[in-house]
């Protein structure tokens, strides 16, 4: 007699596991701890086998019967449902490993020793905001240029053209990492170099007329702010360094006898020598 929801709910645990038969080889196994597990008993190539169909109540009676019927269809087609289930799991694991997100994160991990933590954080943030939500779960080998172009146009449409170009280059490097590791065979982002119009470079305001430069330097002498800022203002035109690098300068980097300052350039992490 087929099972009912009432009978399943009332099934209490016993000292040993026991079964409640349904139909078509399916049954509910009740464990001493109270767990209720759907199973399908079947024969394939003359051998008796078992197939797990899920746990009650996560898998309802109706859902378990659907899984049983699906397994029976596979048997009728000469396919072992247990092996088919294993193959599906392998395919899911492979898809997760071969997703663009997994490959891109692998590229970032490989890049970590060669870039600053801040630079890496910005790259990852760009991908999490603008790339992963759209193509992150896609198998990397199946992504084509039009898909990537859609991602780039979405970034460009909000007025972030420079970011769109930067992201295209980073996507391309992620694909080249994937090629090296055997996840894909070509880099579709490479063909999109000119797909987005060039970004308009906006330079910071600057004083270039000698007379005005002199006036600016004299204005520094009359600066009434804090002493550290006054020192920075006077050092900047002599050292020609980035404001952030000057602000983070440490005494250990200076050789006052030689008049030298050695520090790491922010963008390239290479040593730079400044003297005055």
Strands 47-56 and 254-255: unpaired
**Tens-level pLDDT at each residue, the chain (276 residues):** 789 999 999 999 999 999 999 999 999 999 999 999 999 999 999 999 999 999 999 999 999 999 999 999 999 999 999 999 998 887 777 767 789 999 999 999 999 999 889 999 999 999 999 999 999 999 999 999 999 999 999 999 999 999 999 999 999 999 999 999 889 999 999 999 999 999 877 767 778 888 888 888 888 888 888 998 888 888 888 888 888 888 888 888 888 888 888 887 766 667 778 765
Count CB neighbours of 227 within 10 A.
8
Strands across the sheet with 260-264, in order? 254-255, 260-264, 271-275
- The pLDDT assigned to 267 comes to 64
- The pLDDT assigned to 268 comes to 66
Is 80:88 a contact under the CB 8 Å cutoff?
A: no
- Element housing 255 (H / E): strand 254-255
CB-based contacts of 172: which residues, under 8 Å, 6+ apart? 187, 189, 190
- The pLDDT assigned to 264 comes to 78
- The pLDDT assigned to 16 comes to 96
- The pLDDT assigned to 186 comes to 95
Sequence ranges of the domains in the chain: 5-81, 100-192, 210-275
Strands 254-255 and 18-21: unpaired
Determine the CATH number of domain 100-192.
Answer: 1.10.150.130
Q: How far apart are CA 14 and CA 34, in angstroms?
A: 8
Is 107:115 a contact under the CB 8 Å cutoff?
A: no
CA angle 185, 134, 106 (to 5 degrees): 50
- The pLDDT assigned to 162 comes to 95
- The pLDDT assigned to 91 comes to 74
Q: How far apart are CA 43 and CA 20, in angstroms?
A: 19
- The pLDDT assigned to 57 comes to 94
The token pair that represents 62 in the structure block: 């109706």
CATH superfamily of domain region 5-81? Integrase, DNA-binding domain (3.30.160.390)
Bond preceding residue 57 cis, omega within 30 of 0: yes
- The pLDDT assigned to 52 comes to 95
pLDDT in tens, 49-69: 999 999 999 999 999 999 999
- The pLDDT assigned to 276 comes to 59
Q: How far apart are CA 55 and CA 37, in angstroms?
A: 5
Is 188:182 a contact under the CB 8 Å cutoff?
A: no
Helix (H, G, I), strand (E, B) or coil at 98: coil
How many residues in total does the chain contain?
Answer: 276
pTM of full prediction above 0.75: no
- The pLDDT assigned to 221 comes to 85
Q: How far apart are CA 199 and CA 116, in angstroms?
A: 25
The token pair that represents 275 in the structure block: 């003297």
């Amino acid at each position: 007699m087929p099972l009912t929801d009432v009978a399943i709910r009332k099934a209490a645990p016993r000292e040993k596991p026991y079964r409640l038969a349904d139909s078509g080889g399916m049954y509910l196994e009740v464990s001493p701890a109270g767990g209720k597990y759907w199973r399908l008993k079947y024969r394939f190539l003359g051998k008796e086998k078992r197939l797990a169909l899920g746990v009650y109540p996560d898998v309802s009676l109706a859902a378990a019967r659907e899984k049983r019927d699906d397994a029976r269809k596979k048997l009728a087609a000469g396919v072992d449902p247990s092996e088919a289930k294993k193959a599906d799991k392998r395919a899911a694991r492979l898809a997760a490993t071969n997703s663009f997100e997994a490959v891109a994160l692998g590229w970032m991990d490989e890049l970590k020793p060669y870039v600053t933590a801040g630079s890496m954080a910005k790259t990852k943030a760009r991908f999490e905001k603008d790339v992963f939500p759209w193509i992150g779960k896609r198998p990397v080998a199946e992504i084509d240029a039009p898909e990537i172009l859609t991602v780039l146009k979405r970034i460009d449409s909000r007025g972030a053209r420079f970011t769109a170009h930067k992201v295209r280059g980073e996507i391309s490097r992620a694909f080249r990492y994937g090629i090296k590791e055997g996840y894909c065979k070509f880099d579709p982002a490479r063909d999109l170099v000119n797909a987005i119009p060039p970004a308009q470079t906006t330079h910071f305001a600057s004083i270039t007329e000698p007379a005005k430069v002199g006036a600016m330097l004299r204005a520094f002498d009359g600066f009434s702010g804090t002493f550290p800022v006054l020192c920075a203002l006077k050092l900047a035109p002599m050292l020609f360094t980035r404001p952030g690098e000057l602000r983070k300068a440490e005494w250990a980097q200076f050789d006052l006898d030689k008049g030298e300052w050695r520090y790491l350039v922010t963008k390239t992490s290479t040593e730079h020598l400044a003297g005055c």
